[in-house]
Structure 1
Amino acid sequence: MESPTPEEIIDARKKSSKSQTEAAAVIYCSLGAWQKWELGKRTMHPAFFELFKIKTIANGRN
């Protein structure tokens, strides 16, 4: 699995109705890391993206 694009990360966060701070808390990372992923300054590991989706979108939890 490839790393998600910044657009995919933003889309997943918005679908879950979470702020960047809330999204970061879901996967136990810092706000700064989340912001860098959305800006494309860092690459999000696919496991983090999968975890976020499992804990929010896939289970319908907001």
Structure 2
Amino acid sequence: MTTYTTIQGDTWDMIAFKVFSDETLMIQIMNLNLDYIDVSVFSAGTVLQLPDVSVVEETASDLPPWKV
């Protein structure tokens, strides 16, 4: 499993966009990091787990063809 180390000011949607270019994947990131679920804006140095590529691909395949 991959990790992401936050920088000051990161938010869930910003992290999802930086890593996967899709802020809607923040839900999967949040589900893997329930210890930080109450954090809205991260300080620097928090290590978060990221979903595997297969999870991201599975989510993308649920989209209509014009959004893939």
TM-score normalised by structure 2 residue count: 0.37
| Structure holding more strand per residue | 2
| Structure holding more helix per residue | 1
Larger radius of gyration: 2
TM-score normalised by structure 1 residue count: 0.38
